[in-house]
A and B are shown apart, each in its own frame.
Chain A
Amino acid sequence: MILCGCSDSPSSHIDNKNIKANADPPAITDEDRSLNEVLQIDEDSSYDGLYAESHSPVYKLDDEFISCKIINKHLGKGFYFYEIPFIEKKVDGNWIRLFNNSDRIDNAEWFFCGVQDKKDISYTADVRIKLDDVEPEVDQGDYRFVIFTAENVLYADFKLEK
């Protein structure tokens, strides 16, 4: 007798096996941190005021882009971040890194966020991922953005739905 299993949860083609994933970016070096000096904007010394927030808690699978805001609570303090945001899916309680095959992947840099001549505001940057760039193709479930900054890694949760 062959027993066929069934489940009330949607099946996922994303598991933790054989997934091509973005590797962590190379750590920023002290030497790389010069753009803020060129722009004459202070770099935050602590990075402990940074957090990330998805623009929407839920995105549709047919949305073209998903996006996330990086915010520094410390007024007038700029920060470096890796220009390509990564994406992870929660599978069986574990976060599985996917592959953001951005057109920038071969040229990715550490970008600097800061606004010249405005020291009394929180500096924020928006980053976007084209869902078509993500491999393997995403399905519904729990996800998070992964943003690398010069000093730490930020996460921002969101869901993908049909």
Chain B
Amino acid sequence: MKAKWKNALALIVATMVSSTVASVTASAETTGSSIPIVTYDYVTKTTSNSVLDMDELRSYNRELMTELEMNEESANEAYNPALMADNAIGGLDPDSIIPPDDQVQVNPNYYPYSAVLMLRLGRDTDNDGSINVWSRGTGFLEGNDVMVTAGHCFWSTANGWVDECRIYSKQNSSTPNTTYYHPWSWVCSTAYANSTYADPNFDWCVVTLQDNLGGTNGWFGRKVGEDEPSYQVTISGYPYSGSKSGFQYKDSGYIDSSTTYIYNYEIDTEGGQSGSPIYDANNDAIGVHTSTTTGTMNHGVRITNDLYNIILNRYLEGVERWS
């Protein structure tokens, strides 16, 4: 399977492979047309630092789309594999403002909730070969085998990468599904996953899975979100508080403000929902929920042009791999 990968190695202009992430000074993705990324191979536990030439990546994506007989519109569309759809989430009624603290339980057997995944993350902090510390998170599908989540679900400057990642599909019970899935590899911005300073503007992670979960669960579309406030969106994910644990909850509302990299909103979220999709009425993801820092305001990273092209690249490679 791996031999079929036609990934973007040609686009990497500098590569360093190491077992640990090197100390790298954080740099913004706006520096020139190249951005530093760090790729982690979950199977071999190997980290690679490299620089992506974004112009070449865009060009490569166009080549892939031509090869796959797709265009940018079809490549970015949300996909529902004929699952029952919940229109209440897909179509926000502009006349109905949902209160920001009003999370509603949803059915993950319905699309688009089927494309939201529960994560159980483990670390071997005492290096004895057994996972001994556990946390949680959320991810969302962006293609056949592409999942997007928050960078901090997988990385911390003090402890490095997670050692175990269990991905639960259509989880809908306080008892965990007996079947769970694993990543193959993931890519983060070096501005986040480095040993010096994890820049919250780049708190994202694009994961390639070992399985074609998107084929059965569907996936979100993607687009570079707009700047203006009053942007209507929904966030759906897996909180971890007792009565909600194991079940998926959503809330909808408005983007209150934004910076180049961050959306701010009062949409209700809880611990465990880091990595949830921020998506619009067309089920197009425009951001990744990351944190609550002040008062009632929650935050997520935006799908910027660069992140959009990285996700699109992984999506196209997944289509090529699984079609």
By a beta-carbon cutoff of 8 Å, the part of chain A in contact with chain B is 29-35, 37-39, 65, 69, 83, 102-104, 106-107, 109, 111-116, 118, 123-130, 132-133
What total of chain B residues lie within 8 Å of the partner, measured CB to CB? 36
Q: Once the chains are docked, how many angstroms separate the CA of A107 from the CA of B293?
A: 8
Q: Is B156 an interface residue (CB 8 A)?
A: yes
8 Å CB contacts to A: which residues of B82-133?
120, 125-126, 130-133
8 Å CB contacts to A: which residues of B271-297?
271-272, 274, 290-293
In the complex, which residues of chain B have a beta carbon less than 8 angstroms from the beta carbon of A132? 196
Contact partner, B130, options A31, A111, A118, Cβ 8 Å: A118
In the complex, which residues of chain B have a beta carbon less than 8 angstroms from the beta carbon of A35? 120, 134-136, 240, 245
Q: Once the chains are docked, how many angstroms separate the CA of A107 from the CA of B273?
A: 10
Q: With CB as the reference atom, state the residue of chain B lying closest to A34.
A: B245
Additional A-B contacts beyond A39-B134, A114-B134, A132-B196 (6; CB < 8 A): A39-B120, A104-B152, A107-B290, A112-B135, A115-B132, A133-B157
Q: Is B158 an interface residue (CB 8 A)?
A: yes
Q: With CB as the reference atom, state the residue of chain B lying closest to A117.
A: B130
Whether A31 touches B134, Cβ cut-off 8 Å, given contacts A102-B158, A129-B158, A130-B158, is no
The B contact surface, by secondary structure, is: loop
Q: Is the beta-carbon distance between A38 and B132 smaller than 8 angstroms?
A: no
In the complex, which residues of chain B have a beta carbon less than 8 angstroms from the beta carbon of A111? 133-135
Q: Is B198 an interface residue (CB 8 A)?
A: yes
Q: Is B32 an interface residue (CB 8 A)?
A: no
Whether A37 touches B271, Cβ cut-off 8 Å, given contacts A111-B135, A124-B126, A126-B125, is no
In the complex, which residues of chain A have a beta carbon less than 8 angstroms from the beta carbon of B175? 38
Q: Is the beta-carbon distance between A106 and B291 smaller than 8 angstroms?
A: yes
In the complex, which residues of chain A have a beta carbon less than 8 angstroms from the beta carbon of B242? 29-34
Q: Is B214 an interface residue (CB 8 A)?
A: no
In the complex, which residues of chain B have a beta carbon less than 8 angstroms from the beta carbon of A124? 126, 132
In the complex, which residues of chain A have a beta carbon less than 8 angstroms from the beta carbon of B135? 35, 83, 109, 111-112
Query: Measured between C-beta atoms, what is the minimum distance from A125 to chain B in Å?
Result: 5
In the complex, which residues of chain B have a beta carbon less than 8 angstroms from the beta carbon of A113? 132-134
6 tightest CB-CB pairs across the interface, nearest first? A31-B242, A103-B198, A34-B245, A126-B125, A31-B241, A106-B291
Q: Once the chains are docked, how many angstroms separate the CA of A107 from the CA of B131?
A: 21
Q: Once the chains are docked, how many angstroms separate the CA of A53 from the CA of B135?
A: 23
